[in-house]
Chain A
């Protein structure tokens, strides 16, 4: 196997361990995400909940990865840390070559703005703002001037085929359209990674397929996509599936291996 191939971590868990285990070395530029021994504990009224117990994960540029796991497996905690909304208690997290696990709140806000495009289960659009204004929002905090903002927001909405819905407010849009607005918002600042949290959780199966096709084409065009989901049907759209269990990575497979193991989603392991 060619070690420079972006497919490397997908097929070779050994190589993934080599990369993530290279202590002290600055992660190479091909890696968007490198985590080393990430731990996260919560104090829930005196009882310590160990949500993550040492996660090593590396995701390269242009990968399309699903993170799966049952509830309580720590996937939401991992998603929050990967999304720079939270910081680990222990371990390192390198995002696009920057060590973000020790950054201050405001520095994290900057990283979220520049490096990450969020897509949420509940869309999280501002209800009183138009689609265009919602898409402009990350650019507002990036300090982009208003005419450039407008132009780039329009371009992003065109990418998700919503150019004729720009002046609509979220309550005037269907669920699928709302999620496409959210995708346009996630993409508008050219992030290093698209981070989706249960992106189809609030959508019917047909609309879910539609959103998955958008993700597919984004991944085809070279966008790094990380998707957190508990639905195997959705996870199998990704090209690599990482399964979390009890705060640790239990399996890390290619799509084909994942599908083969769970039996095409018809029977549950």
Chain B
């Protein structure tokens, strides 16, 4: 008997027992649904982290030189915290020394940020993340102006009180108004809005457009950091290799300036997008373990249900098995028939589960800030798991069927 023949028999059996078949595979269906949903959401978050978040928060091929890490991986011990607290801050003098050692094709800029009170004539005051930056910052961030213009080199040099604001800031402080040329008071210092930055979108529901940027020599700087101190120096190489070279020369300059002995560790941080990804990867591994372990419990229960139902099916169809054997079915024909039936049933359940899982993931993506990306491999894995569970669950009932004695089987009343 051919494989396709066996599948046809299986589909026929399932067709005449739709409801029973449905209940048989409900465990596998739910297991696969959750597997697909969780995998899709984790994959979606992962893609989001790698493509959007990291790209938006940390510019491509760039690292930032700072006193302590911005992204913290896992629990930080008190000893580490104390060490961080003892570190010297990053000074403008450090920045200039590092910059002097960098090749010409490497971009750099400084960035210091603080949440400050901002007011306008048109809205309630609000706390906004305010950054003072040096020339080159917009280039590294690949950020353009949606309205107005960016900060000019003269404004940087003179420390003119001008700001480029994020879209959300513009919407809040200047409702239904063109913000260009209007006044914003930051910590009561009057600033003129010269541009609105291109929308940056959001990450996990957190808008990336709640910021404002001013020249580092403008009056705001004294609210952001002590004199001649910066939060971070952002360095961007032309390529990944260029970035690594720049990191090495930065490390050399910084260690020399801090008079560190070879055996002493760095007392500064150079954070790349990888450091941020480490943080994410750790979360992702927990999520994946939970996302795979929980559906597995469902699948095991589903397998037991299928095994039970198949045992019942063998008992119910003992006479049919006897007839088939009398007409020339060999043991392996009967074995295959029930294995294929069990696998087909379970695979169909898994396929429905895959569809439900994708729907579920899309629903979650639509109703919550969590993104979803359906990984193609997860569809195949889901269906494959279904087939596998069905096969394993079917082995015992199918071998019971195959070993039935045709005479006794045909004698059974049904």
Contacts and interface: CB of A to CB of B under 8 A. Distances in A.
Interface stretch (B69-77, B106-114, B329-337, B354-362): B329-337
A172 B406 CA distance: 26
B327 A110 contact: no
Given A124-B323, A124-B410, A138 B12 contact: no
A-side interface mostly = helix
A113 B323 contact: no
A29 B187 CA distance: 114
B265 interface: no
Contact of A110 (B16, B324, B328): B328
A137 B334 CA distance: 13
B21 to A, nearest CB: 14
B328 A141 contact: yes
A85 B333 CA distance: 16
Contacts of B330: 105-106, 109-110, 141
A126 interface: yes
| B contact residues, range | 20 to 34
A141 B324 contact: yes
B127 interface: no
Interface string B148-190: 0000000000000000000000000000000000000000000
Interface in A61-118: 80, 83, 85-86, 105-106, 109-110, 112-114, 118
A112 B323 CA distance: 11
Nearest to A185: B327
Contacts of B13: 128
A143 B1 contact: yes
Interface residues of A, number: 26
A85 B406 contact: yes
Contacts of B323: 124-126, 137
A141 B1 contact: yes
Interface in B1-37: 1-2, 5, 12-13, 16
A112 B410 contact: no
A124 B321 CA distance: 11
Interface string B307-334: 0000000000001101111111111110
A126 B332 CA distance: 20
Contacts of B407: 80, 85-86
A142 interface: yes
Interface string B240-269: 000000000000000000000000000000
A112 B12 CA distance: 26
B324 A85 contact: no
Interface string B23-60: 00000000000000000000000000000000000000
Nearest to A124: B323
A112 B329 CA distance: 9
B326 A141 contact: no
B324 A137 contact: yes
A106 to B, nearest CB: 4
Nearest to A117: B327
A141 B406 contact: no
Contacts of A118: 326-327
21 contacts: A80-B407, A105-B330, A109-B325, A109-B328, A113-B327, A113-B328, A114-B328, A120-B410, A124-B319, A124-B322, A126-B323, A137-B323, A137-B324, A137-B327, A141-B1, A141-B324, A141-B328, A141-B333, A142-B328, A143-B2, A189-B328
Given A141-B324, A141-B330, A143-B1, 9 more contacts: A106-B330, A109-B325, A110-B330, A118-B327, A124-B323, A125-B323, A126-B320, A126-B323, A141-B327
Across the A-B interface, give the 6 residue pairs with the lowest CB-CB distance, nearest first: A113-B328, A141-B328, A106-B330, A109-B330, A138-B327, A124-B323
